[in-house]
């Protein structure tokens, strides 16, 4: 990943200058809405999905009103979906290797796919940037109970 791109995107993120507004505003709105209207809004963190993809896939299906039947679970449908939607499978799709989102400053979709590991950002930011990001999120999410690993 180009250093200029990481640094530019990082600075924009820290200032809350994203296409649709600051990340933390969106996260808090969705979290609060999921607490107010749990049947209308499902709040799912990537960390939870990575920790237990089968349970979270079942949770998502139930939320959508299409829970898996015992038969589907028995024949491995949930695991097939988890495999199909896995990081490795998605990053290998042609659109994610060569495609680009319209009107994006990101030159290629492939830059959205690094390792798929929780906390990998520390391998792409300086220790000072990691600390700065941690402080910003701590401040912006203070009192919400929302945390990110």
Q: What number of other Cβ atoms are within 10 A of residue 22's Cβ?
A: 16
- Structural domain spans, the chain: 1-41+125-148, 44-82, 86-118
Whether the pLDDT of residue 6 is over 60: the answer is yes
- The pLDDT assigned to 3 comes to 54
Asked if residue 33 lies in contact with residue 144, where contact means CB atoms within 8 angstroms, the answer is: no
- The pLDDT assigned to 108 comes to 79
Which residue would you say has higher pLDDT here, 70 or 110? 70
CA 79 to mean position of chain CA atoms? 20
Whether the pLDDT of residue 1 is over 60: the answer is no
- The pLDDT assigned to 45 comes to 93
Residue 89 is classified by DSSP as: H
Give per-residue pLDDT as tens, 50-87: 999 999 999 999 999 999 999 999 999 999 999 999 99
Name which of 7-16, 29-38, 82-91, 94-103 the model is least confident about. 94-103
Asked if residue 121 lies in contact with residue 144, where contact means CB atoms within 8 angstroms, the answer is: no
Q: What number of other Cβ atoms are within 10 A of residue 66's Cβ?
A: 10
Tell the burial category of 101 from Cβ atoms under 10 Å away from its Cβ (0-12, 13-18, 19+).
exposed
**Nearest C-alpha neighbor of 73 from the set 89, 63, 62, 64:** 62
Give per-residue pLDDT as tens, 10-35: 899 999 988 789 999 999 999 999 99
Residue-level length of the chain: 149
Whether the pLDDT of residue 4 is over 70: the answer is no
Kindly give, in sequence order, each residue whose CB lies less than 8 Å from that of residue 70, ignoring residues fewer than 6 positions away: none
Which residue would you say has higher pLDDT here, 115 or 86? 86
C-alpha to C-alpha distance for 51 and 119, rounded to whole angstroms: 13
Q: What are phi and psi of 24, to 5 degrees?
A: -65, -35
Report the percentage of the chain scoring pLDDT > 90: 61
For the chain, the average pLDDT equals 90
C-alpha to C-alpha distance for 121 and 127, rounded to whole angstroms: 10
């Amino acid at each position: 990943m180009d250093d200029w791109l990481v640094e530019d995107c990082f600075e924009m993120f820290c200032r809350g200058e994203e296409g649709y507004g600051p990340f933390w505003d969106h996260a808090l709105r969705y979290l609060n809405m999921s607490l107010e209207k749990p049947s209308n809004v499902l709040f799912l963190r990537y960390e939870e999905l990575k920790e237990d993809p089968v349970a979270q896939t079942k949770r998502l299906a139930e939320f959508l009103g299409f829970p898996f039947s015992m038969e589907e679970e028995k024949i491995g449908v949930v695991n097939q979906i988890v495999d199909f939607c896995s990081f490795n499978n998605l990053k290998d799709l042609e659109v994610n290797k060569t495609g680009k989102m319209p009107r994006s400053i990101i030159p290629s979709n492939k830059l959205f796919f690094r390792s798929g590991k929780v906390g990998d950002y520390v391998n792409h930011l300086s220790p000072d940037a990691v600390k700065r990001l941690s402080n910003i999120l701590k401040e912006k999410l203070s009192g919400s109970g929302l945390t990110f690993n």
